[in-house]
Copies of this chain bind each other. A is one copy, B any other.
Amino acid sequence: MTLIEDKKHISASFVRKLRHGAALTMEDEVSLARLVQNPRPVPARADVMSHNAKPRYLPLILEGWACRYKILENGKRQILAVYLPGDLCEPFGLLPRVTEHAIGALTDVVYAAVPLDALRTTAHDNPRIAQALWWDLLMASGIEREHLVNLGRRTATERIAHLFCELQIRLNMIGLGERNRFEFPVPQLDVSDLMGLSAVHVNRCLQELKSLGLISQRGRHVTLHDVEKLRDFALFNANYLNSSQPSAFSKD
């Protein structure tokens, strides 16, 4: 296996996701793969990037699940976003800044440090790549906003159902999991910090979803028994995940 092919392998999720945002050519994909260097491991519960760093690179998740989080002065933690393989942990990171939140590993993670200037140069020189990255930014901001709606106006069980609906689509986008079954390796304690709930209550909500026949869990895997029913239950509307394809670079 050549070096290039190996790079294409480790960057597979990244490229695969960006294909949804623009019609990438083979060369585009090679350019993207070239950005992905030096995979680094991080164990579960450790930080990929700490608070108040001023990074010159963007963490790109290659394997495992990570998150952006903040800890309040009273010790409470809120997870702001979940990052899957192929996700840039600083979607707004086309330019550097002091990081406001930490990035943590929910499971064992392997990530690549994408150099800022290389990413910027590549995007600047290639309009399709630029479009794909803009699309990715819009999707990431859509996900965060829907998360906000989740916390504000959905009940605890609805929130968790909504999470599964979203993950099902995001994982499919990068080729992980089957249509209605996927690995869900996140401890309930972390789910509670994501959903603004207590861990005990997360446990009970999961049981409710199971008793309703909407999902089941075996080991670290979840099965969604009836995606349509689950979406209705969760007041889930998938528009926010892909309806925002930009047209700035196409002919509208």
> How far, in Å, is A168 (CB) from chain B's closest CB?
19
Query: Does A72 touch B at the CB level, under 8 Å?
Result: yes
> Is B149 in contact with A80, judged by CB distance below 8 angstroms?
yes
Give the residues in chain B near A145, CB-CB below 8 Å: 70, 80, 100-101, 144
> Is B142 in contact with A144, judged by CB distance below 8 angstroms?
no
19 A–B contacts, CB within 8 A, in A order = A70-B145, A72-B149, A72-B235, A92-B137, A92-B138, A95-B134, A95-B248, A95-B249, A96-B246, A96-B248, A97-B247, A100-B145, A100-B243, A101-B145, A144-B144, A144-B145, A147-B148, A151-B196, A152-B195
Query: Does A27 touch B at the CB level, under 8 Å?
Result: no
Interface string of A86-123 (1 = CB under 8 A from B): 00000010111110110000000000000000001000
Interface size class of A (residues with CB under 8 A): 35 or more
> Is B243 in contact with A98, judged by CB distance below 8 angstroms?
yes
> Is B153 in contact with A72, judged by CB distance below 8 angstroms?
yes
User: How many chain copies?
Assistant: 2
Residue of B nearest to A94 (CB): B248
CA distance in complex: A138, B152 (Å): 23
Give the residues in chain B near A141, CB-CB below 8 Å: 92, 141
Residue of B nearest to A99 (CB): B244
Interface string of A224-243 (1 = CB under 8 A from B): 00000000000101011001
Give the residues in chain B near A245, CB-CB below 8 Å: 97
Query: Does A78 touch B at the CB level, under 8 Å?
Result: yes
> How far, in Å, is A13 (CB) from chain B's closest CB?
24
> Is B97 in contact with A235, judged by CB distance below 8 angstroms?
no
CA distance in complex: A92, B240 (Å): 14
Give the residues in chain B near A92, CB-CB below 8 Å: 137-138, 141
Give the residues in chain B near A237, CB-CB below 8 Å: 73
